[in-house]
Structure 1
Amino acid sequence: MTVLLFILGVLFVAVGIAVSIALHEVGHLVPAKLFGVRVTQYMVGFGKTLFSRRKGETEYGLKAIPAGGYVSMIGMYPPAKGGDGQVRKSSTGLFQQLAEDARTADAERLQPGDDNRLFYKLPVYKRVIVMLGGPFMNLVIGVVLLGIVMVGFGTAQPTTTIAQVSKCVVPASQQAETGQTDCLPSDPEAPATAAGIRPGDTVTEFDGKPVTDWYELTRWIRDAAGQQTPIVLERGNETISTTITPILTERPVLGADNQAVLDANGDPVMEQAGFVGMGSTTELTPQPVTEVLPAVGENLQAITGVVLNLPQRLADVAEAAFSDAPRDPNGPMSVVGVGRIAGEITAMDEIPMDARIASLIGLVGSVNLALFVFNLIPLLPLDGGHIAGALWEAVRRNVAKLFRRPDPGPVDIARLLPLTYAVAILMLGMGALLIYADIVKPVNIFG
């Protein structure tokens, strides 16, 4: 049964990501058709075509490698111009030949009546809308799915009932550096264990104050380092009074939202604070609709931090994959890693089924938010590269108009094909590294 649930979790996320990719391409397809651009193909996947059907002037299909998709529009590359502004018929040099070959292949798809249906002839704002449509669709999917989770199911909120008790205290920095999870003889005993606290106990008082909120209790514990403090627990029908002495150790700084404060690299900021070594149970608590967009914003901020530090993050992944260093649970991962996490969530019998379903939906939503951010990177062949090219064209033309100079014409993205190929190769290498790391050193988010 556990294996079947694992497989179902993987399939759920795989289908969710495939549908997200298909809808991403719809985000390009619809505005392109509305603006009159002739779209020759709408494909989900790459490689050999498994299935296709032509409807009107567009071929819709599914390809063998489910690693993305594309919408093929005519007129992506403007004709080359010489120094005199005239169309140049030939060029020399490897890079120039690459651009010329791309332009030739694009031109061969033209049909009579296509002159006013070329993508590069669209006004800049329409080109931006077409290219932004895909990432925007991922953003909408992410918002909707996270909204379903937060409002329909609820978010996991800590209760005052104890879920687990640590045997010892291991500094957070030591865990991050060594990946240590087991106790060593030199590690001090956790204060919660020393106080006789057990999983299932409910904390009702701390230092004479009634306990109704786990986060409030956490702040009291952090401020009580080194102080012997009375604590009252309920264990079944029994009330237990004892004392506990929080130990001063390295812990993440908590913000106003009770979450760890992250630095510019996305790593938690640390401080010395009281710690007892016990964790709470959680229960799903539905949130108001007004909380959805702030949560999406926090998610986007965290993803953006990872993207902005992607080279260092990938270096950390490579180090972990080829050494004993642990994987960063907040670092990038491939669809293999996402699928594995989905399977593990689904197979965890100790988690209620509604919480597992909510986690899977939230996982697909987070993937869509990551696709939104990643596709906006201003490099070709990503959507952000096309958007940057269109905006640069608008700047050039406005500057020329301001100084009464000749119109410089459209930006020739064909000349950037060598850079495009280089970025594509880097993306393939990044994907291969992440897949390898997710197989030999997977991210462990469940302890």
Structure 2
Amino acid sequence: MYKYNRIIEILSILLIGIISIFLLHKNPIVFDLTKEKKYSISKELINFLNSLDSPVYVKILYDKGSKEYNDLLDFFGKLARYSKKVKYEYLDPRYNFTQANLYGFSSNNQVLIMYKDRKKYESSGIDQDKFYSIVFNLANQKKGNIAFITGHGEYSIDNTNPDGLSSLKQTLSEEGFNIKVVNLASENLYVNENLLSVIVSPRIDISDFELKKINDYLYNGGRLIVALSFKEYSPSKFPNLRKLVNNYGISISDQVAISVFTNNPLYVVVFPVNLPYLSNLYNTNLAMFAPLIIQRYENKANSNIEGASLSEVLTTKAVSANIEQLKKGVLQISRDIKEYTVCMMSEKVFKDKKAMLLVIGDSNILANSLVSAYDNKSFVMNVIDYMLDQPIAKSLRPNDVPPLPVVIKREHMIIMYLIYLVLPFVFIILVYSLVIKRRYYAKFREKN
């Protein structure tokens, strides 16, 4: 009898241990010691997902040897545990190529996120902020029209080359915006269409007639993005365009920002300013190609500037170089590293209507060459959403703590290791003490 009791006790201990390991595997204990809680799932994200009226389906097509593979499975595994609205599936590119074609994957190492009848393919890493932003945009259908102005040698929305805008056009269409092309020589811009107008890298200046059309459009509450390129721009070449931006308190200099932090000095890393509509891009990097330096235009003789509210949107720490010298292949740079503005927004109220003018120092941030680099696309879409009064996904990061690398203090390391090492021994001692007590009471009863 004693022998069988011993076997039952051992099997019970093993069973408890197996169940504990299984539960820990399904619900692992995570010690997130990063200040911005990088490895924890935000309650806001969980509540948002649970509030959706339909599930979010995720298909992961990634090579198992890629560095993002484990991170993606871990991230979506956590999400699925916390919210039943997330349904994810891994597709192996080696064996599930039929399913991959069925879901419309264009290449390996992509994630497909689907909500109702809308979907989004993502080919870069996904964190909480990006996933929240993607699902938020899928759940909130965008409304508005975007007009790409032509007639001055601008980038084409159908061009698939590096200097084309086909990628941006596709993204805007997927978000629900209506895209059209407008030639100001024969067409007008209408504010009542909830219209955002865009001029991307013109090669020749706008005419006086077209300038009047744009001014009338802005006066009635229009919104305009002007994206330039140092290769085409010259202050003397675009007097009407300069007059347009000057009237809104913005000046485009004859200098470009040059990097001293990268192997290619023309490739410049820029940073979003902490503005409300860029909160989910806080402390992230964007990329530009020798962006023009944008400044505040101060001219007391120009009364049109009054009432314009200016905000620096993108800045960079760099040195400067002259445009004309750079076009000739001569790189004469300044010695001092300064913080330059390379994108500026002007908002001006006329009676009860607000005009918006955004000037971008490098048109490549909209073009196929750079729109998908870093977080460029997220920046462009956030700005467009803001200018068209569309809902914008907020940031899930703490506002008062910038993202930091994982740095664990020594005392935290000691506590963490002690917990991992001591807990199993505590468990064994507790079980063993219960067994001993049981035997002791059994013998005590036999004697009495």
Q: Is the helix fraction higher in 1 or 2?
A: 1
Structure-1-length-normalised TM-score: 0.23
- State which structure, 1 or 2, has the greater radius of gyration over its C-alpha atoms: 2
Q: Is the strand fraction higher in 1 or 2?
A: 2
Structure-2-length-normalised TM-score: 0.23
